[in-house]
Structure 1
């Protein structure tokens, strides 16, 4: 292949190095029955219909010489914490698979443990790519194995995405909300013991609710709510925070659901019920969903778009569980009771939440829970007003 321009190869590498690429290990079973793999930074999707991908190995690669003896290959997208594994497959080790955990895909190609995802393909053609070969494969099977941040190659080194914290810009507001929540810690702990339930304080921070205080009936357990867990305020979630909000804020809240007109009308009805009653209720879903695990993934440092999609889906699927009309002749399984903490602010900042409640509750029992939680909320509001008064009196 002739070139019409002449320039420094180092400049070529430096310039293209400013474009970050993902790192993958292409694996196969060679014609001797042994696993083989090589690191590639040049992997791309080619077509959706038919489903085609391609990777570009160097012509001189010994690993590629073995890879091309197989009709199938698997692209393993490496995770950000797999740099050592990347180094192993980039080395000249005689057996790169020694000590490496893997499982065969349907056609036998190795799927590496801990990879973000894998794509098994059948080779359809090899094209000329200068000092590289363009290997095109038809996708046979694929899966996201571990939804986490991928390993990147950038400017000659390995790294990862640096995702911004969704609440970092609101740290002062979050800290102030946590300090406000401290005034009800004692009453909430007493209520948790009395009811055999979990009590927590949620603070509105931007378009999310953040748990700033959590009191468990049995202490902290694996899989339970924790301080710092977040949930996006997407209808029907967030009615207590919108109960005092102006119309434009309510419309902005409704727009986050991306719902039909019928669903939006249902959310407005929920909001009207919360404004009328002064509390929010939700029922336990019939199909068990680990909501805490979804919130934990969404609240992590490495939150990914898939985590947001999953929690959005959970919220959407549970829409019918909010603000139920309780039949006095039946018992009910409540998932949560939420009441706002009254303040002098224009919009609700804090809300108290009961969860982990005993199932099979009568309407009378539910009303007792609401009344008990409301008393704590009003007690907390009174304490906050006292604190604000003392602070104002102390100012010169």
Structure 2
């Protein structure tokens, strides 16, 4: 409601400490603006004031301090490259933000189209030439004309907020816009609120995974209640081979799944026993070996939209068909190094449409913990009514 009352303008000057404190409540992205010195040595600076300016022509801008010696080198070059930093690159950020020479010591980078440094691991880069420079108090407003740009890896970006670095971790995200996931995303729309609530109650991430022929796809996540834990990357695809996707294999053609893994007789017998264990109890609780940890690291390095042959090969080499286990008997009072607890989401024809997984668990879990994860996921799976006919209609539209 609007009233005629208003606050009189303040008369005293605004202190810089107060200015920073108030503006610090607005989060900003973090980029590394790179260029080269006169002798070709790479140089760069950290900027949290980067912004897009115009689409036609394509213009961007950043605001360096007038006292910055790094910007003086960039200005002499007349060109710069904006590197959008990923959330795991805080160390890179701090190194480039430090004063002094040799900022690039130990950093991995390559030359971009304009022969300017592109940092390895960056989310995206934007090659620019300086279009104009405008006076703005103790800073410059530098406008750059975009010459080239590319997304390297659509990972979560690094943010600056209230004097510290952090990351964007939404409570609920899904792989929207994926044409081969229409029916699964329809289910996810119904599950999202419950996934977020279950995540908060359990203190873990709740992940929804779909199977598409020979692939498994992370289609939605609740995010992790612990802000220091990165959620699973939505849209991440994994090969549907043992031991991945056992919840789907337990209620489908598990022999086809086994053949995909190229297992020998001994391996096949072990994995068949695990499949039967999951099917008989109706849910999965996996423990992992060090090889499973290596697989997780390999998957985290894969670009979601354009995986390289090297990234795909690293995942394939890290897959160990014996890299996870399903404890047969859970004994009260004993702690288990359980990595995931998962339940199937069935349609009315008995087909598994999704797997709901509790992920990001503590290092060990008791039987009571595991039971709590299982029961919460089962309750969530039963909360929606899936009709195979309806889903087929959605998929064909």
The alignment status of 1:322 with 2:329, answered yes or no, reads no
The alignment status of 1:211 with 2:215, answered yes or no, reads no
Partners of 2:364 and 2:109 in 1: CA distance: 44
Partners of 1:386 and 1:234 in 2: CA distance: 25
1:280–1:337 CA contact under 8 A, matched in 2 = yes
Q: Larger C-alpha radius of gyration, 1 or 2? A: 1
1:223–1:293 CA contact under 8 A, matched in 2 = no
Deviating above 2 A after TM superposition, structure 1's stretches of 4 or more consecutive aligned residues are: 112-115, 170-173, 217-224, 284-302, 312-315, 318-322, 324-327, 344-347, 384-389
Residues 156-214 of structure 1 show CA distances to partners (whole Å, capped at 9, x for unaligned) of xxxxxxxxxxxxxx954412211211111111111100111000111111211111111
Alpha-carbon offset, residue 357 of structure 1:
1.6
Partners of 2:323 and 2:226 in 1: CA distance: 31
Match of 1:166 in 2: none
The alignment status of 1:114 with 2:118, answered yes or no, reads no
Alpha-carbon offset, residue 288 of structure 1:
8.4
The alignment status of 1:357 with 2:364, answered yes or no, reads no
The alignment status of 1:190 with 2:166, answered yes or no, reads no
The alignment status of 1:333 with 2:340, answered yes or no, reads no
Match of 2:377 in 1: 373
Within 5 Å, which residues of 2 pair with 1:184-333? 184-218=191-225, 223-246=230-253, 250-286=254-290, 289=293, 293-316=297-320, 319-328=322-331, 329-333=333-337
- When the two structures are superposed, what TM-score results if normalisation uses the length of structure 1? 0.51
Cα 1:187–1:386 change in 2 (3 A) is farther
Partners of 2:365 and 2:104 in 1: CA distance: 50
Partners of 1:280 and 1:333 in 2: CA distance: 14
Computed over aligned residues only, the root mean square deviation of the Cα atoms, in angstroms, reads 4.3
Partners of 1:271 and 1:251 in 2: CA distance: 10
Partners of 1:272 and 1:288 in 2: CA distance: 21
1:230–1:299 CA contact under 8 A, matched in 2 = no
Q: In structure 1, list runs of 5 or more residues that go unmatched.
A: 1-80, 82-100, 104-111, 116-145, 148-169
Cα 1:388–1:288 change in 2 (3 A) is closer
Q: In structure 2, list runs of 5 or more residues that go unmatched.
A: 1-80, 82-102, 112-119, 122-176
1:282–1:334 CA contact under 8 A, matched in 2 = yes
Partners of 1:275 and 1:320 in 2: CA distance: 19
